Amino acid sequence: MARGKKMEEVIVAETKDVDFGELELKIAKPSLNTDKTIAVNGNFSDLSTKIQSVVDRYKGTKLTEDNVDYVKTLKGQFASLRIGIERERKEYKKAYFDPAEKLVDSMCKELLKIVDEGESALGKQLDEYDQRRKNELTLVLNEYVQDAVEKYELRAEYATQIQLIDKYYNKTQKEEDSIDDIDRQASELAKKQKEYDNGVTLIKMECEEAGFLPDAYIRELQYKVASEIIMEIKQDKKAKAELKAKAEEEGKLVIGKTEDDELVQELKKATEIKEETTRTRVMRVTYKPAQAKLMADFFTKNQIAFEFLQTNF
């Protein structure tokens, strides 16, 4: 993919700014009608008409880079209206007591319903716009990731470690910087992949020479460097050789001619004891990679001869 690809924007007709004007709820002092009922007058109807006209004009508009900033400002004005209406309602109730409360609440409820409609609609549009932009940008970024994976020949287990960082989605983020950062991640993963492959090769060579199965040692590459594992194999090889030599030495009891009958008897007893107490068993042992060294140390410390016959039954 060519560098610098830009996300396609949805083109909509230009929307002209709407003059909000001085929109402020004003409620006159209550008065009594001839029938002794309370009359509450204010600019409810005029304010409702003006707000509704703004809501109708903008709630269905699709946003673009050209009008998104203005819509954000407009949404802020709706929030200011909501705060102002609430403030006027509370002040009016405090000044003229409860007789007008029910009527004022009803009128304000209707006004707030319209305001909520506009605020909610604009908020939903802004959320949808951001999500659409993120989805489209993700498609582009994933193509750059695939380019990097092919460039460095990453296997799946390493390719899936490349992350689309949050800063890639910032409007101030340059696309070239995102591409370079993806390439940096892929390059570092390629080094780890090569180090792992080299470690596997060295471990297999060392195990072949020592007569060990390499699987358990290879799994240790998840938390150890190859040089540490090679040293471990050499130590295990040395320990195995020492145990084997000791076992062979203990098994060689030659009883020859001797004038000391008691010595002959003791040698015979020692041989009988060795033959009686030495056993060979084949066991299936299940352990975690981190426990391999502990298991080997246990056998070595207790002078138990052992060898690996098969792994992963």
Q: What is the pLDDT of residues 264-279, one digit of tens each?
A: 455 455 444 444 455 6
Q: How many domains would you assign to the chain? A: 2
Give rounded-to-5 percent helix, strand, coil for the chain: 65, 0, 30
* Element at 79 (helix H, strand E): helix 68-96
pLDDT of residue 251: 60
Could you say which DSSP state residue 32 is in?
E
pLDDT of residue 257: 46
- Cα 220-222-226 angle, rounded to 5 deg: 60
Whether residues 58 and 137 share a domain: the answer is yes
- Beta pairing class for 31-32 and 38-39: antiparallel
- Give whole-number Cα distances, 175 to 164, 182, 231, in Å: 13, 11, 46
* Element at 313 (helix H, strand E): none
**Structural domain of residue 265, as residue ranges?**
215-301
Percentage of the chain beyond pLDDT 70 is 76
In a domain, residue 157? The reply is no
Whether residues 131 and 220 share a domain: the answer is no
Structure tokens at 310: 């098969």
pLDDT of residue 90: 86
In a domain, residue 290? The reply is yes
Q: Which of 82, 186, 90, 98 is nearest to 144 (CA)?
A: 186
pLDDT of residue 280: 63
Single-letter residue type at 175: E
Lookup result for tokens 């975690």: 288
In a domain, residue 81? The reply is yes
Whether residues 139 and 237 share a domain: the answer is no
In a domain, residue 278? The reply is yes
Residues of the chain below pLDDT 70: 1-22, 97-100, 250-284, 290, 301, 303, 306-313
In a domain, residue 23? The reply is no
Strand ranges for 153-254 from DSSP E: none
pLDDT of residue 313: 46
In a domain, residue 78? The reply is yes
pLDDT of residue 99: 63
Whether residues 50 and 142 share a domain: the answer is yes
